Amino acid sequence: MGTELVHYRKKAGLTILQAAEKSGIGRPKLGHMETGKYGQWPDDVANLMTVYGAPQRDVDRMASLAGSCSGQSWLAPWKHLVPDWFRTFVGLEGLAESEFVFEPMVLPGLLQTEKYAQAITDATGFVRRDQTERFVSFRLARAKRLTDETPLHLHAVIGEAALRLNVGNPDVREAQYRHLLTLAKMPNVTIQAIRPEDGPHAATSGGFYLLDFAQAQSIAYAERVDGAVYVQDQDDVQTYKMVVENLTSVALSPAKSLNLIRGLID
C-alpha cells in the first residue's frame, strides 16, 4: 500500500509536503502511511489518490484494499518464531489470488507434508530444536491457504534436484511424493518439474515467488540466507513474469511431471 501511494504521488509530481498540504493529512502521518508504519484507512487512501489525480478505478481499488487490511493476522501465535521479512511474505500470500513459485533445490513449503517439513527443518539447523514442532505447525497452517473457501491458485516449477533431495528416510520421501500427486489433482494447483536435460532457462539467479492480487499490483519475492528481497517496481516485476513464461515452457508438462514423480515412487 505504501509503495503504491509513493508511486502515485511521484507520478503527480508532488513532494510529500505538498501532498500533505493538498490532502489535509499531516506530514508525519502521510510519511508513516508511505512506509507502512501507519494503518491505511480507506477514506485517507481515497483522499490521497484523488489528490494525485488517479483514475477512479484505482481510487476504488486502493480504498477497497485498505479496507481489507484490518483484523488480527492468523500469524499471531508464531510472531516471535518467524522473522519479520518472512511474516510479511506470508501475510501477502494470504491476500494473494495466485502464486507462482520456482524452487530448484527444495520442495516449496506449501507442498510439504508434516514429516517432510519436520525432517528438513531438523536438517537445516536454522530453527532451535525446542521450537521445531511449532515451526512445522506454522508451515502446516500456512498450507491451509490451498484449501480455503477461496483457495490460492498455486503454480509450482520444481527442480529435479529438489524432488530427489535426500530428506528424512525413504518412507518420508514416498509419502511426500504421494502428497504431491494428491495436491496436483486439485483444480487450483499446478506442478511442473524441470530437469537438467530440459535445457537452460532464464531463472539463473535461483528460486523466487511471484504473487498476483485481485486489487493490487503484482510483487516478486526472493529469499536470501538471512533475509529477502521484495520487488515492487512494475517494470522489474514484468521481467519476472517473462522468466515465469520461460520456465513453464522449458519445464516438463504437468502430466509428464507427475509421471516423473510416480517414477520416483517406483
Residues 58 and 92 in one domain: no
* Strands 208-212 and 219-224, sheet pairing: antiparallel
Residues 187 and 104 in one domain: yes
Residues 25 and 106 in one domain: no
Residues 85 and 181 in one domain: yes
Query: For the chain, how many structural domains are there in total?
Result: 2
pLDDT exceeds cutoff 90 at 164? yes
Rounded Cα–Cα distance for residues 88 and 44 (Å): 23
Q: At what angle do helices 114-124 and 170-183 cross, to 10 degrees?
A: 130
pLDDT exceeds cutoff 70 at 127? no
When the pLDDT of each residue in the chain is averaged and rounded to a whole number, the result is 87
- Buried b / exposed e across 215-241, counting CB within 10 Å, b at 16+? bbebbbbbeeeeeeeebbeeeebeebe
Give the global pTM: 0.76
Residues 135 and 16 in one domain: no
pLDDT band at 130 (very low <50, low <70, confident <90, very high): low
Residues 170 and 240 in one domain: yes
Residues 237 and 136 in one domain: yes
- Between 66 and 254, the higher pLDDT residue: 254
**What's 36's domain CATH number?**
1.10.260.40
The mean-pLDDT minimum among 20-24, 179-183, 222-226 falls in 222-226
- Between 133 and 236, the higher pLDDT residue: 236
pLDDT band at 263 (very low <50, low <70, confident <90, very high): very high
Which domain does 166 fall in, by range?
76-265
Give the percent of the chain with pLDDT over 90.
52
**What's 245's domain CATH number?**
3.30.870
Q: What is the pLDDT of residues 43-98, one digit of tens each?
A: 898 999 999 999 887 787 777 677 665 544 566 666 666 676 777 788 888 889 99
- The stretch 201-223 carries a mean pLDDT of 91
pLDDT for res 234: 85
Residues 62 and 94 in one domain: no
- Between 112 and 57, the higher pLDDT residue: 112
Q: At what angle do helices 27-35 and 42-51 cross, to 10 degrees?
A: 100
Classify the C-alpha dihedral 191-194-195-198 as positive or negative: positive
Cβ atoms 265, 164 nearer than 8 A? no
pLDDT band at 138 (very low <50, low <70, confident <90, very high): confident
Residues 138 and 242 in one domain: yes
Residues 55 and 93 in one domain: no
Residues 254 and 198 in one domain: yes
Residues 43 and 125 in one domain: no
